[in-house]
């Protein structure tokens, strides 16, 4: 079946309306008949999903969920969605695309969900048990605005069946299972990545504070969170610690606090050298990935050393923040075109 322009336009309009609701929820605004396209009871039901989520997943705080809603709502404008989808050819034959979603940060699979529907395909969602409630709740809302999407969206809590292609995101260990079970169909597999920061020594206190946001948003659990810092030789690390003092509330989250206590105890017992500001640990290491509640850092002496490190690890790096790279504070603010692992999801779907 040919995915016509009129149909795509209706789906875009449905997501645009959903975006206005996500913005209101993200800003924690009271229900407004002017701003919202749903009833007061429907709006309150979505609010309750947000507030209850902490009981299902201790990492998903109300603040983190509302932040995810705000970031997603920034994509869902008619101008952006139309310009984005117009870059790709229309689907000539609709396929059933299974999405195996991660659950490390709230609604991390929403972009794939959006891509599949706006590319003209049908979606089969395999949700992570860590994030199994919000997308179905938003989908119910979406169907109010475009009921025709009901036949295009399916959620599966059993063995996946009836799919023509697969998009799967997980740990590097998960990649082995993905290859075993899904390599016989067109597939897009994503493993574990992380992000780094490059500093010059000229950063302002505000920029260093924003770097802290890049490290600690969603408790550092996303692939776009910075886990490794590259400092010029002679950089005063106290400048960074002083700039992020107001982010200390992160340690009050039980799960984050447990990680902080555990990693601190391990390093103390091993007599390892590390820095500590009572909510974040830092250790000098060339290892790209660091444990939760800890950052790795190293010093570079020249640009060549810096570029060599980035080149060596490019297949494990999601994004680089710094004055000459992605601006500080923007790591967790991807655009529609910022595809995970640098793989163009829409192009993959267009070629099915």
Mean pLDDT value of segment 226-239: 97
326 has a pLDDT exceeding 50: yes
Superfamily of domain 5-192: Aldehyde Dehydrogenase; Chain A, domain 1 (3.40.605.10)
Residues 112 and 341: their CA atoms lie apart, in Å, by 13
Least confidently predicted of 36-40, 302-306, 313-317 = 36-40
219 has a pLDDT exceeding 80: yes
Residues 349 and 153: their CA atoms lie apart, in Å, by 16
8 Å CB contact between 165 and 186: yes
Band of the pLDDT at 174, cuts 50, 70, 90? confident
Band of the pLDDT at 32, cuts 50, 70, 90? confident
Mean pLDDT value of segment 16-29: 95
Q: Cβ contacts of residue 116 below 8 Å, gap of 6+?
A: 97, 99, 122, 123, 167, 349
1 has a pLDDT exceeding 50: no
13 has a pLDDT exceeding 70: yes
Q: Of 349, 345, 344, 337, give the one whose Cα is nearest residue 75.
A: 337
Band of the pLDDT at 171, cuts 50, 70, 90? confident
Length of the chain: 352
Give the model confidence (pLDDT) of 139-168 as tens digits.
999 999 999 999 999 999 989 999 999 999
pTM: 0.95
Domains 5-192 and 194-322 fall in the same CATH topology: no
What is the average pLDDT value for the chain, to the nearest integer?
95
Tell me what pLDDT residue 112 has.
Answer: 98
User: Taking the C-alpha atoms of 175, 178, 179 and 184 in order, what is their torsion angle to the nearest 10 degrees?
Assistant: -160
Domain boundaries, the chain: 5-192, 194-322
Phi, psi of 184 (to 5 degrees): -80, -10
288 has a pLDDT exceeding 90: yes
Mean pLDDT value of segment 191-207: 97
Percent of the chain topping pLDDT 90: 90
5 has a pLDDT exceeding 70: no
Sheet holding 281-284, edge to edge: 275-276, 281-284, 294-300, 226-232, 194-198, 317-322
Tell me what pLDDT residue 90 has.
Answer: 81
What is the dotted CATH code of the domain comprising 194-322?
A: 3.40.309.10
Mean pLDDT value of segment 46-69: 96
2 has a pLDDT exceeding 60: no
Structure tokens at 206: 């505000």
User: Which range, 27-31, 92-96, 98-102, is most confident?
Assistant: 98-102
Tell me what pLDDT residue 35 has.
Answer: 61
As a whole number of Å, the end-to-end CA separation of the chain is 13
């Amino acid at each position: 079946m040919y995915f016509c322009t009129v149909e795509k336009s209706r789906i875009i309009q449905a997501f645009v309306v959903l975006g206005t609701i996500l913005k209101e929820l993200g800003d924690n605004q009271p229900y407004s008949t002017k701003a919202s396209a749903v009833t007061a009871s429907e709006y309150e039901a979505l609010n309750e999903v947000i507030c209850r989520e902490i009981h299902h997943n201790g990492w998903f705080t109300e603040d983190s969920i509302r932040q995810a809603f705000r970031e997603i709502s920034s994509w869902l404008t008619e101008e952006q969605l139309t310009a984005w989808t117009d870059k790709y050819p229309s689907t000539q034959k609709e396929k059933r695309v299974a999405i195996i979603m991660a659950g490390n940060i709230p609604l991390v699979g929403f972009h794939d969900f959006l891509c599949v529907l706006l590319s003209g395909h049908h979606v089969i969602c395999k949700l992570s048990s860590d994030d199994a409630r919000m997308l179905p709740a938003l989908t119910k809302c979406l169907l109010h605005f475009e009921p025709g999407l009901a036949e295009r969206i399916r959620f599966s809590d059993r063995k996946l069946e009836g799919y023509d292609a697969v998009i799967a995101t997980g740990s590097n260990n998960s990649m082995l299972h993905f290859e075993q079970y899904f390599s016989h169909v067109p597939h897009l597999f994503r493993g574990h990545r992380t992000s780094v920061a490059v500093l010059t020594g000229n950063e302002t206190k505000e920029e260093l504070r924003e770097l802290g946001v890049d490290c600690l948003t969603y408790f550092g659990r996303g692939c776009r969170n910075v886990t490794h810092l590259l400092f010029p030789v002679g950089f005063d690390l106290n400048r960074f610690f002083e700039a992020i003092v107001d982010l200390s509330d992160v340690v009050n989250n039980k799960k984050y606090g447990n990680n902080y206590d555990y990693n601190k105890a391990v390093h103390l017992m091993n007599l390892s050298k590390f820095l500590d500001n009572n909510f974040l640990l830092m250790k000098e290491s060339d290892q790209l990935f660091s444990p939760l509640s800890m950052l790795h850092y190293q010093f570079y002496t020249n640009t060549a050393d810096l570029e060599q490190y980035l080149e060596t690890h490019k297949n494990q790096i999601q994004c680089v923040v710094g004055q000459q790279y992605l601006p500080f504070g923007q790591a967790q603010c991807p655009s529609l075109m910022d595809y995970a692992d640098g793989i163009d999801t829409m192009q993959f779907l267009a070629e099915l």
